């Protein structure tokens, strides 16, 4: 998954403002206690980060974006 696709999906699932907040503020255990931004900056693959988002927020991410 390209990085631009990742951000598009995150914004579609959470809205532009909340997506930015989720990415910078929410620590996900699935990412080793890192935020989305930290995981991506640390070189984590976008599809791994996206799976972590889907697992952490199963009710927010529509099935068509999974």
Q: What is the mean pLDDT of residues 16-29?
A: 96
Burial of 12 (0-12, 13-18, 19+ CB in 10 A): middle
pLDDT of residue 14: 96
What is the rounded distance in angstroms from the CA atom of residue 43 to the CA atom of residue 15? 25
Domain extents in the chain:
3-65
pLDDT of residue 39: 98
pTM: 0.92
pLDDT of residue 62: 92
Q: What one-character DSSP code corresponds to residue 28? A: B
pLDDT of residue 28: 97
């Amino acid at each position: 998954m390209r990085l631009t696709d990742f951000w598009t999906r995150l914004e579609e699932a959470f809205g532009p403002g909340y997506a930015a907040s989720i990415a910078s503020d929410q620590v996900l255990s699935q990412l080793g206690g890192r935020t989305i931004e930290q995981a991506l900056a640390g070189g984590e693959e976008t599809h791994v980060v996206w799976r972590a988002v889907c697992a952490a927020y199963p009710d927010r991410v529509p099935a068509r974006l999974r």
